[in-house]
Homo-oligomer: A and B are copies of this chain.
Amino acid sequence: MRQDTRLSRLLHVLLHMAETEAPLTSEHIAGMLGSNPVVVRRIMAGLRDAGYVAAERGHGGGWRLTRPTAEITLLDVFRSLGEAELFAFGLSDPSPRCLVEQSVNDTMREAIGTARDALLSRFAEIRLSDIQADFNARRATHAPTLKLPHAPD
């Protein structure tokens, strides 16, 4: 599993976790992610330490959300992933002697900082429940014939 796809994959897992009753084992999650239970535990550790999920051990154990999906934002999940770099590029030397390089840095810092703030505040606005709502709408549209309590004429 590539590092740069973690956020997206983790959201996927978290939403499935929200949908199911039983806790999900690391084994099971690793299956979904095409990865490995140990790696899953490593990743989930961040979410656990941040208080968004908890694991129970032993028979019938596994991972559960500890909060309603309306109280978890994309920013929360991103942060829990260990504050990975947001951008695929950065400054070479943070405080260079060369005046030319200082100007380059200041210019790039401003541009990157603005973009970073904008993206993170957008992340902060998006709750897992928003994605859930989108998913439910999608399900209603996509598979309306499946297991309907009463078919609408």
Q: Which residues of A contact B (CB under 8 A)?
A: 2, 4-9, 11-12, 15-16, 19, 74, 84-92, 98-108, 111-112, 114-115, 118-119, 122-123, 126, 130-132, 134-135, 138-139, 142
Contact = CB atoms under 8 A, between A and B. Distances in A.
A49 to B, nearest CB: 20
Nearest to A1: B92
28 contacts: A2-B92, A4-B87, A4-B89, A4-B90, A6-B89, A8-B108, A9-B92, A11-B108, A12-B98, A12-B100, A15-B100, A16-B100, A74-B108, A84-B89, A85-B88, A86-B88, A88-B88, A99-B138, A99-B139, A100-B131, A102-B138, A103-B132, A103-B134, A104-B131, A107-B131, A111-B119, A111-B123, A115-B122
Nearest to A19: B100
Oligomer: number of copies: 2
B90 A106 contact: no
A107 to B, nearest CB: 5
A115 B118 CA distance: 7
B111 A122 contact: yes
B12 A108 contact: no
Contacts of A9: 92
